[in-house]
Amino acid sequence: MSPTLILMRKEIRDGLRNRWVLAVTVLLAMLALSLGFLGSAPTGTVKVDPLTVTVVSLSSLSIFLIPLIAMLLSYDAIVGEIERGTMALLLSYPVSRGQVLAGKFLGHLVILALATVGGYGIAGLALQLAHGGLDLAAWTPFALLIAASILLGASFLALGYLISALVQERATAAGIAIGIWLFLVVIYDMALLGMLVADQGRIITAPLLNVILLFNPTDVYRLLNLTGHENIAMFAGMAGLSDQATLPTGILLLAQILWIALPLGLTGLVFKRRAL
């Protein structure tokens, strides 16, 4: 068996043994159910499937929660192993640093994917069953939400790995990880909103705004979920943005993938040159 697959299975087993998958799945399911049942209360009157309204709430929740979970999984993936001395032991076996990085990253990604699919999937099924039965048509935007959430988590996993490869101590990695999470999730959009209000459309035009949004994985995620479907955009209050955001879904998906590939590639370069 490939060393990458062996390391991936080890990370998954560790996640299962430490109850990471179970804890995150339960957390996501409980929060999704709470938002779903509270947010879907008026759907019987307006004849909207509860999943349609839930996508709006979960998109906002995921922007805060999924990146934080990904950072907690990955911030010490490399520096923690080096501090404990297990990285030197691991590399004494016939395994390359690239295989170590790939195996650990894929293992963490599987953990995050299992928790996201399980938590949101359970919540989606419960919501539809509680409101009269399954409607497969409503699962299209909800499935996109789950897939986009996994991609968002993967991008922050990659950023966490890059931090872990660059720093010398776990405490430093934790502080930087929280700072980057706070900047990308909260500060970036607040600063952009302030610039838009001050600019009044003189410099930051719609095409330039599209480009600026691509420099933040959470904004790419938001556009994928909240402007990709007419009903979702309407209930999210982003129908106007949907008209202005001219980026097609393919470009948004490519941007999200680049937010995974570029930090992970830089991590590989840094890790290869790092002394243990």
Comparing 156-170, 193-207, 225-239, the range with the smallest average pLDDT is 225-239
Tokens standing for 205?
């035009």
| DSSP state, residue 186 | I
Pick from 92, 117, 109: nearest CA to 12? 109
**How high is the pLDDT of residue 236?**
44
Q: Which residue type, as a one-letter code, is found at position 134?
A: L
CA distance 191 to 195: 6
CA distance 33 to 126: 8
**How high is the pLDDT of residue 79?**
95
Gyration radius from the chain CA atoms? 20
Q: Which residue type, as a one-letter code, is found at position 231?
A: N
Q: Which residue type, as a one-letter code, is found at position 169?
A: E
Higher pLDDT, 116 or 248: 116
pLDDT digits (tens, 9 = 90+) for 86-107: 999 899 888 999 999 999 999 9
Contact 140, 228 (CB under 8 A): no
Percent of the chain at pLDDT exceeding 90: 47
pLDDT digits (tens, 9 = 90+) for 159-181: 999 999 999 999 999 999 999 99
**How high is the pLDDT of residue 238?**
44
Tokens standing for 189?
């959009």
- Listed in order, strand segments (DSSP E) in the chain are none
pLDDT digits (tens, 9 = 90+) for 39-53: 554 444 445 566 667
Pick from 236, 244, 176, 178: nearest CA to 213? 244
**How high is the pLDDT of residue 240?**
45
Residue count (the chain): 276
Instruction: Output the average pLDDT for the chain.
Output: 84
pTM summary value: 0.88
Straight-line distance from the first to the last Cα atom of the chain, in angstroms, rounded to the nearest whole number:
26
Greatest Cα pair distance, the chain, in angstroms, is 65
In Å, what is the CA distance from 253 to each residue of 155, 176, 192, 221?
Answer: 12, 27, 22, 9
**How high is the pLDDT of residue 72?**
93
Contact 55, 233 (CB under 8 A): no
CA distance 218 to 209: 15
User: How sure is the predictor about 142, in pLDDT bands with cuts at 50, 70 and 90?
Assistant: confident
**How high is the pLDDT of residue 229?**
52
